[in-house]
């Protein structure tokens, strides 16, 4: 089936070309559509790529029964219902780095424009006024710049601030001490500490529940008289009413704002007419270079997600640290299939409702435990629940919604560097299945319960338990041959001679129910479990 992609909001042509160059894709490029029209059309598409003008609501996502990917040509995704996308298994991708320089340069342009009164100066000259004596300014050099959010843009701001001779301090509880040191930014332990020392405060955080109203009346009052505030991030981080009050009272010398709680801004907004307030219409990313960069970045991410299930750029899939996504693909496949094996064997024992799921991984897989846990959740849930989409994006939330307790241990002792162990349980029953999957290698199951095996879980895995007596392997092989089931690998394991044995048989194609029942009829065969793996 052709993969269909809807591109809207005037995404840069170089980005669109990344998609149109793929023969498997059909790309429909349209202007920003009314919400009702988009809702009517979205069901035909596997992906949508846009900017900030199109709102990807929960209702729209529910109507998008084919949708696999949402691509946002820009940084912010506040126009996307990310939680709903996660629940539905839709990847949300953005382009976090493409507009970094554009926003940083605009910030310093606005700050210089504000402290040198450039808007007033140019307006006056155009209107025939020569007000040189009234246009006394100040310099950035020697000022203390407080950066709230020392991520990509905050880091770029810090580097340029040093070039202006500014002292730079920052507040960001999610950034390491090493990054602060590398950027030569003094770390403030609390926002209040930054406000007490800064002459100029600039915010560069996403808009979340934690950051909404982060800088309000109380925070603005902590700034020394004559302070300056800049918000070129997202509207709502700086409380707009509090900012108006601080400017009109004279407590703040000035402010510059490029992002607003409600856009577009109208002439009735309280900001309009406020002295020493430099306003721009959300143009932080509006450079030709930035729009080209974010379009190309996000379209490459969408392309790779659709063609290769490459989800490393997805905002709503577990993050991968220290390893490339493709290098970890064998580990994902192994983990998902190990969980599927454990689920099938527990079901054979009568346990239908899994209550616990844990993953342990070796040292070389440390940093990817969350994603491996999501892969295990896929394996535990596939085939046992009704959902149109079950993948790494929504598997954890779906498992938790079913009351399954999830846990992960990274760098677990007793495991090889690239080994993974998945344990499923419920009540008094539990079962662990382990294996190894080095980068670029073939996944191998190495343990099922107490039995040590060595088998590649390819298309279908047949797991037999039997009495350890002569002749069983031959009879099983003959029966499968008669049923035209081709054996790829056959590994027999036992705990002690004459006791119970386990066979892990990797076969091509499917093993139907009639063949399974025939296997159970073989003398000394105790159980026969068929695990059919879905494509990786």
Query: What residues does 531 pair with on adjacent strands?
Result: 461
The enclosing H or E element of 507 equals strand 500-507
Active site residues: 234, 263, 282
CA within 13 Å, CB half, 125:
7
Sign of the torsion angle spanned by Cα atoms 89, 306, 371, 432: positive
Q: Which long-range contacts link 515-522 to residues 24+ away (Cβ below 8 Å)? A: 515/479, 515/480, 515/483, 515/485, 518/479, 518/483, 519/462, 519/464, 519/476, 519/479, 522/466, 522/472, 522/475, 522/476, 522/479
Q: Angle, nearest 10°, between helix axes 152-163 and 100-115?
A: 50
∠ at Cα 371 (380, 296), nearest 5°? 125
Do 330 and 438 form a contact (C-beta atoms < 8 A)?
A: yes
Cis preceding-peptide flag for 266 (omega within 30 of 0): no
> Which residue spans within 172-291 are E strands per DSSP?
186-187, 200-203, 227-231, 252-257, 277-279
Q: What number of other Cβ atoms are within 10 A of residue 410's Cβ? A: 17
Whether 259 contacts 52, CB under 8 Å: no
Closest CA to 38 of 51, 26, 48, 46: 48
Tokens of 14: 């170089």
Could you give phi then psi for residue 77, rounded to 5 degrees? -125, 30
Q: Does residue 488 contact residue 507 with C-beta atoms inside 8 Å? A: yes
- How many other C-beta atoms lie within 10 A of the C-beta of residue 124? 16
Asked if 433 contacts 413 with a C-beta cutoff of 8 angstroms, the reply is no
Number of H helices, E strands in the chain: 17, 22
Sign of CA dihedral 105, 108, 110, 116: negative
Q: Give me the count of residues in the chain.
A: 536
Cα 437 from chain centre? 23
């Amino acid at each position: 089936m052709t993969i269909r992609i809807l591109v809207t909001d005037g995404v840069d042509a170089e980005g669109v070309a990344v998609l149109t160059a793929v023969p498997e894709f059909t790309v429909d490029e349209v202007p920003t559509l009314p919400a009702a029209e988009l809702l009517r059309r979205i069901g035909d598409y596997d992906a949508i790529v846009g900017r900030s003008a199109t709102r990807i609501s929960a209702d729209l996502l529910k109507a998008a029964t084919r949708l696999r990917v949402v691509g946002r040509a820009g940084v912010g995704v506040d126009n996307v219902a990310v939680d709903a996308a996660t629940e539905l298994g839709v990847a949300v991708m953005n382009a976090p780095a493409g507009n970094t320089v554009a926003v940083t340069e605009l910030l310093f342009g606005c700050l210089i424009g504000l402290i040198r009164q450039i808007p007033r100066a140019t307006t006056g000259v155009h209107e025939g006024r020569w007000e040189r004596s009234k246009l006394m300014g100040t310099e950035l050099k020697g000022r203390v710049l407080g950066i709230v959010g020392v991520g990509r843009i905050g880091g770029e701001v810090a580097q340029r601030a040093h070039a202006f001779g500014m002292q730079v301090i920052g507040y960001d509880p999610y950034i390491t001490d090493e990054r602060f040191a590398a950027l030569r930014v003094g770390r403030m332990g609390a926002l209040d500490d930054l406000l007490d020392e800064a002459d100029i405060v600039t915010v560069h955080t996403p808009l979340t529940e934690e950051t909404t109203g982060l800088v309000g009346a109380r925070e603005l009052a902590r700034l020394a008289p004559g302070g300056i505030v800049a918000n070129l991030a997202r509207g709502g981080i700086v409380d707009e009413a509090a900012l108006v009050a601080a400017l009109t009272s004279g407590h703040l010398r000035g402010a510059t704002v490029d992002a607003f709680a409600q856009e577009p801004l109208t002439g009735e907004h309280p900001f309009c007419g406020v002295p020493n307030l430099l306003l721009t219409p959300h143009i932080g990313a509006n450079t030709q270079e930035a729009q080209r960069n974010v379009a190309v970045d996000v379209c490459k991410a969408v392309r790779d997600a659709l063609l290769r299930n490459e989800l490393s750029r997805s905002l709503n899939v577990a993050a991968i640290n220290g390893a490339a996504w493709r290098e970890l693909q064998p580990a994902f496949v192994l983990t998902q299939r190990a969980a599927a094996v454990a689920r099938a064997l527990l079901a054979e024992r009568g346990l239908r409702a899994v209550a616990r799921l844990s993953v342990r991984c070796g040292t070389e897989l440390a940093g990817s435990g969350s994603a491996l846990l999501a892969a295990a959740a896929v394996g535990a849930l596939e085939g046992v629940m009704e959902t149109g989409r079950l993948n790494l994006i929504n598997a954890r939330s779906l498992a938790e919604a079913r009351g399954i307790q999830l846990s992960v241990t990274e760098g677990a002792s007793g495991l090889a560097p690239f080994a993974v162990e998945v344990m499923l349980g419920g009540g008094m029953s539990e079962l662990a299945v382990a294996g190894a999957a080095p980068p670029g290698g073939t996944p191998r199951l190495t343990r099922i319960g107490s039995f040590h095996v060595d088998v590649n879980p390819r298309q279908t895995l047949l797991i037999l338990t039997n009495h350890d007596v002569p002749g069983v392997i031959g009879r099983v092989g003959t029966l499968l041959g008669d049923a035209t089931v081709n054996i790829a690998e056959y590994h027999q394991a036992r705990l002690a001679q004459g006791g119970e044995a386990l066979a892990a048989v990797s076969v091509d194609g499917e093993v139907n129910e009639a063949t399974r029942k025939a296997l159970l009829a073989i003398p000394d065969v105790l159980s026969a479990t068929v695990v059919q793996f879905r494509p990786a």
